[in-house]
Amino acid sequence: MLAKALAAESRATFFNISAASLTSKWVGEGEKLVRELFAIAAEAAPSIVFIDEIDSLLSARGQGEHDAARRLKTEFLVQFDGVATGDAPVVVIGATNRPAELDDAVRRRLVKRIYIPLPDEEGRAAILGHLLGRDASAALGPKDVAWVVRATDGYSASDLTALCREAALGPVRELGAAIKSVRADRIRPMRLQDFREALAVIRPSLSREHLRAFEEFTRDYGTV
């Protein structure tokens, strides 16, 4: 979402790339795809090349690595250097939740390494307001929403989405077999109790150990 927002604000051409789109079973085809990607990005400049889960494509090189994967990474690094020294305004952005697994050469070329932390109370309130909508928020009440915000410390945006989905099933489960004949406008809105029950089922997906690892990486290599 941040990469798309950046592309929209800068009016740049946006390339959304995954490891699957740059790999092939044919020898040499992966390197060719990488060269074509950067050639097209330079031609359509200004461009943003966004690589989601970049660790799956550019992880640390090792002795037991397949030769094709090593050649693909080498070609990507060569093209990356061309972007840095060329005249065409092309920016490469990667996202990962395993930054420590990136190859050292890749980390050096990604000159800005920005840690996106979990949402704080204000962020969780905004996310819940977006997910619930005005009607559901009004049915819960401001104090109820504030309680949910406080109770979801450590939850990511995807965790909050799963929590709201689970809470929304509370009114549906109460109907039992009658759900076949009940109109949608007859189903009661969500209550705070639905979220209390959902919190017992949906737990944060990130542990404190993972968060500490991200913070340590940010201290060592992150952009201040």
Residue found under tokens 């928020």: 137
> Which among 75, 109, 143 is the end of a domain?
109
> What pLDDT score was predicted for residue 134?
60
CATH number of the domain at 33, please. Answer: 3.40.50.300
Range of the domain at 19: 2-109
Q: Which residue has the higher pLDDT, 63 or 209?
A: 209
> Which among 68, 87, 109 is the end of a domain?
109
Domain co-membership, 87 together with 6: yes
In a domain, 77, yes or no: yes
Digit-coded pLDDT (tens) for 10-28: 888 999 888 777 776 676 7
* Tokens linked to 133: 């909508």
Quickly state the pLDDT bin for 64 (edges 50, 70, 90): low
91 φ/ψ angles, rounded to the nearest 5 degrees:
-115, 135
Helix, strand or coil, per DSSP, at residue 32: helix
The b/e string for 113-127 (b: 16+ C-beta within 10 A; e otherwise) is: eeeeebbeeeebbeb
Digit-coded pLDDT (tens) for 123-181: 999 999 888 886 555 578 889 999 999 999 999 999 999 999 999 888 888 777 777 77
Query: Which residues partner with 49 through β-bridges?
Result: 15, 92
Quickly state the pLDDT bin for 204 (edges 50, 70, 90): very high
Mean pLDDT of 80-91: 74
In a domain, 220, yes or no: no
Average pLDDT of the residues of the chain: 85
Domain co-membership, 27 together with 52: yes
Q: Which residues contact 17 (CB under 8 A, 6 or more apart)?
A: 37, 49, 50, 51, 52
> Which among 81, 109, 137 is the end of a domain?
109
Domain co-membership, 91 together with 131: no
What whole-number distance in Å separates Cα of residue 33 and Cα of residue 1? 25
Question: How many domains does one find in the chain?
Answer: 2
CB distance 52 to 93 below 8 Å: no
Mean pLDDT of 195-210: 92
Q: Which residues contact 75 (CB under 8 A, 6 or more apart)?
A: 30, 31, 34, 35
